[in-house]
Amino acid sequence: MAEDTSLEAALARLFNTPTGLKAASWITLTGGTRLFSAGDESDHLYLLRSGRMGVFRHDDDHQGLHLIGVIKPGEPVGEMSLIADTPHTSTVIALRDCELMVLPKADFLKAIEAAPDVLLALSKQMIERARSGTPREGRRHNTPNVFAFFALNDIIVRPLVERIAEQVRALGYRVAVLDKDHHGTGADIFAEAEAHNDYVLHVAEKPESHWRLLSSRQVDHTFWIADARHHSQRPHSDPARLPASTLNLEDSQLLDPLGLQRAPDLILIQAQEADGRKVIAHTRDWLDAFKPARWFHVGEHSLPDAARIARIVTGHSIGVVFSGGGARAFSHIGAVQALREAHIPIDFICGSSMGAIIGGCVALDWSDAEIDAHIREAFVVSSPLDDVTFPFVALTGGRKVDQRLEQHFGDVLIEDLPLPFFCLSSNLTSGTIKVHKTGRLRQALRASISLPGVMPPVVEDDQVLVDGAVMRSFPALMMRNSHLGTVIGVDVTRAKGIDPKSVHVPKSLPTWFLKGDWRKGPPIVSILMRSATITTAADLEQSRLACDLLIIPEPEGVEIREWHAYDLAVESGYQTSVQSLAQLEQPVTQLRKLGISLHPNIPAFTPDDSFLTPPRPDKLKYTLKPQGVTLPRFLKGPKKPQPKL
């Protein structure tokens, strides 16, 4: 039998040499402990036997750390600096409770005389890392696979976690569920569970504080679970019983020295009506008390909701992005119909300008018929932009739009929507993008469609907000960072903008009024709408590259203010989406990009304003590095779309 020449086998032989056996020692590190820092002298070789460690590098200003790789069991630590005889260039920190074998430098040099193949194997690894650009890259290392589910109140969470685990298995993965019965069984149980399963789910009920504290040091990401049918009561108890974000700074650092777990996700268990729809309540209380990164509403006994959490955990979730585009954005409705007919779930939704309106309908979990009825009445039966006024601020008064948004969306809050949703507006006061992820839905939608010069802006907290498409018409990059799964983008910004005929001055004002063309507004409306939503080729290309599946409807004859062309735009969106789905080589849930380095202990980025401002010096920063981002491959030759039933 040929000798195993792998690096792990070579290291095992090294530590089994007489020198290695005599000089090596064992050490244990709790999660969050620093093994060494950049600049420290390299005086030991480490071999990770269990756990997981992160490799970090400092910013140029040495005020933050970037994760550049993850070390898994069987891999060496600190070997590059040891061989090169230089100080460490990176900082290594335990991301789990870890066990390591340690060999002093002098003994390492003596041991490789008896096992020279180790030096050869280490040299090969160093060359491979140098060629790849950064050490230990690869999605398989950095994708989170160990999750905690911790109860915040007296609800029993084990049944929900078991349903989630069953849905993970249905996706074809091996999964283990660990509970308090595994407390005190030794650190090997965690390593074994991770080695023999694709995913490991830790579950802790509220009273199980010691098990929760131990579990929190073994996981990549935490989900809090609460019964939202009761108001949140911010707990005041001993630190071991509290999630990290509810603690003062000193206690929080004791439980979580790196701050890696300070932004868990929140699952709120909601009551359900007879038809299965959730009765969502008290969301704002829970968000104020625990400030989660993301939140998800789950029906008490809902299997589809458990399946959605399973998709989010495994990176099979689907996020859909809708661009702006005026009346052309009605194409998004047809795209939604096609996705639903193909049984493709929508787990996250976002949009800009008119895309935000359609996205809000989807996030409300409206049926196709409900979306059609609401949009027709609000935007098609009569123009929402015919309340022309003296243009002190805008050509229209905006009252009709305000009334229709209130009529159809009421006072629902974004945080109470059944599906995670955000939309954009452009902040003219600060010159930044405003991301709406909480607050009254209709007010956020009103800001997102407030075309400068056409509709009055929205003033919120002394900030002037206008149409989101002014700064970002197609927010696919933001959706890309909001979850680990597939991004489907429906973009109508490429469609024809202004027909030259539509900007001609009417030859006869009486005829213009009699024909009803005045309801569209004067030609300046088209000019303002197109000017406010124009997108540069570079921005558009970057946004489109963030999509795993890009759908580009071309609604012929539909101009950005042709509200009456509703049916034509919807049909165009439907047919284009059916064709795009028919041409895919693999299931939509498997279209996620490869090579995106995501930190295993940090939840996916939640859209807010933080990406526009410099990070605080006292916070760790993590780098997401796309590697070879490409659009999905398609089969040669278009397939004939299936007829709409």
For residue 276, the Cα-to-chain-centroid distance in whole angstroms is 26
For residue 188, the Cα-to-chain-centroid distance in whole angstroms is 32
Tokens 């495994």 correspond to: 314
Work out the number of other CB atoms within 10 angstroms of the CB of residue 87.
13
Q: Give CA–CA dist 586/590, Å, rounded.
A: 7
Could you give the 3-state DSSP secondary structure of residue 48? strand
Q: Give CA–CA dist 564/570, Å, rounded.
A: 11
Count how many residues are written for the chain.
Answer: 645
- Residue 150 contacts residue 224 (beta carbons within 8 Å): yes
Could you give the 3-state DSSP secondary structure of residue 77? strand
Model confidence over 530-582: pLDDT tens digits? 555 565 556 777 888 889 899 999 888 787 778 889 999 999 999 999 999 99
Q: Which residues of the chain have pLDDT under 70?
A: 1-23, 59-64, 114-115, 117-142, 185-187, 232-262, 494-538, 592-645
Strand partners, 45: 103
- Pairing mode, if any, of strands 65-71 and 53-58? antiparallel
Q: Give CA–CA dist 635/645, Å, rounded.
A: 25
- Cβ-count burial 235-249 (b if 16+ within 10 Å, e if not): eeeebebbbbbbbee
Q: Give CA–CA dist 364/321, Å, rounded.
A: 15
Work out the number of other CB atoms within 10 angstroms of the CB of residue 458.
21
Query: Strands, DSSP E only, in 164-220?
Result: 175-178, 199-204
Please tell me what DSSP assigns to residue 507: S
- Residue 293 contacts residue 264 (beta carbons within 8 Å): yes
Tokens 């284009």 correspond to: 576
- Residue 553 contacts residue 335 (beta carbons within 8 Å): yes
- Looking at residue 162, its amino acid is E
> What separation, in Å, do the N-terminal and C-terminal C-alpha atoms of the chain show?
62
Query: Strands, DSSP E only, in 384-479?
Result: 421-427, 432-436, 458-460, 463-467
Could you give the 3-state DSSP secondary structure of residue 33? coil
Reported pTM:
0.78
Q: Give CA–CA dist 302/278, Å, rounded.
A: 9
Work out the number of other CB atoms within 10 angstroms of the CB of residue 524.
14
pLDDT of residue 138: 39
Please tell me what DSSP assigns to residue 615: P
Tokens of 639: 């397939």
- Cβ-count burial 143-176 (b if 16+ within 10 Å, e if not): bbbbbbbbbbbebebeebbebbbebbeebebebb
Tokens 């939140």 correspond to: 295
Q: Backbone dihedral region of 625: left (phi > 0), alpha (psi from -120 to 50 degrees) or beta?
A: beta
CA-based torsion, 562, 563, 568, 574: positive or negative: positive
Q: Please name each of the domains of the chain with its CATH number.
A: 7-133 (2.60.120.10), 146-314 (3.40.50.300), 318-590 (3.40.1090.10)
CB burial of residue 229 (10 Å; 0-12, 13-18, 19+): middle
- Residue 76 contacts residue 136 (beta carbons within 8 Å): no
pLDDT of residue 626: 30
Q: Give CA–CA dist 338/431, Å, rounded.
A: 37
Q: Give CA–CA dist 640/58, Å, rounded.
A: 53
Tokens of 228: 């939202």
* Residue in 394, 529, 526, 400 with CA at minimum distance from that of residue 456: 394
- Helix (H) / strand (E) element for 509: namely helix 509-514
Tokens 């589809």 correspond to: 304
Q: Give CA–CA dist 174/197, Å, rounded.
A: 5
pLDDT of residue 147: 94
Tokens 């003219």 correspond to: 428
Model confidence over 85-139: pLDDT tens digits? 899 988 999 988 888 888 888 887 777 776 676 666 666 665 565 555 444 443 3
Q: Give CA–CA dist 252/246, Å, rounded.
A: 8
- Residue 142 contacts residue 212 (beta carbons within 8 Å): no
pLDDT of residue 233: 60
Q: Give CA–CA dist 247/252, Å, rounded.
A: 5
Q: Give CA–CA dist 287/283, Å, rounded.
A: 6
- Looking at residue 587, its amino acid is P
Active site residues: 353, 467
Q: Give CA–CA dist 450/431, Å, rounded.
A: 16
* Residue in 99, 81, 100, 101 with CA at minimum distance from that of residue 91: 81
